[in-house]
Amino acid sequence: MLSTRARTGPTALLTLAVAAALLAAPTAAAADEQRFPDPRGDTRSPADIVGVTLEHGDRVVVRVHHRDLSFAAGEAPATVRVIYAVPGRSPGPDYWLKVAYQSDPTAQLRSAGDWGDPAGPWVPGCTGERVRVSSDLDVTRVSVPRACFGDPQRIRVNVRVTLHPEDVGRADDAPGAEQLGPWVAYQVPR
């Protein structure tokens, strides 16, 4: 009769330790993501929005896809404004964040008034807003911690690019003027 003995040497113990550590390690929340298109050519600006991607995880990330995010003289966009809406507040905008291109002011999340005048006070305790602009990829990326919105289960956005600093003139709104994109749900960590 042939007998076998379980291997309990250092290699087996190391394998068990690594497996236990991987299973015990916390994982980041899975993010739900949705992209919605915006008509190409609905503004004369090269910064024409052609799509918006909204990712709802531990951070709410909005990627604005432009036709040509050029910063050539006379063609550079002035601002991008992201309007956020969460359930249980109002039917319109609840928060907003405005980015001035080619400047260094800190991006700060603010509460929103209404579509005509969204300027409200800064959201107290909200830190960690980030903005990245890539003219090579034609993308503006805005990222805000989910906790700044009160940890909502769903969120949706509107994005507006303007050519003039005071939001005057023909702006490009995605999905449209005073419209919000689809709801994107938060994915709970597994």
Task: With beta carbons less than 8 A apart as the criterion, state whether 181 and 33 touch.
Answer: no
Residue 143 bridge partners (DSSP) = 61, 130
More confident: 58 or 102 = 58
The span from the CA of 163 to the CA of 20, in Å, is: 55
More confident: 13 or 103 = 103
CATH fold group of domain 32-185: Immunoglobulin-like (2.60.40)
Which tens digit of pLDDT belongs to each residue from 136-176? 999 999 999 999 999 999 999 999 988 765 555 578 899 99
Give the start-to-end residue ranges of the domains of the chain: 32-185
pTM of the shown model? 0.78
Average pLDDT across the chain, whole number: 79
Q: Give residue 187's pLDDT.
A: 77
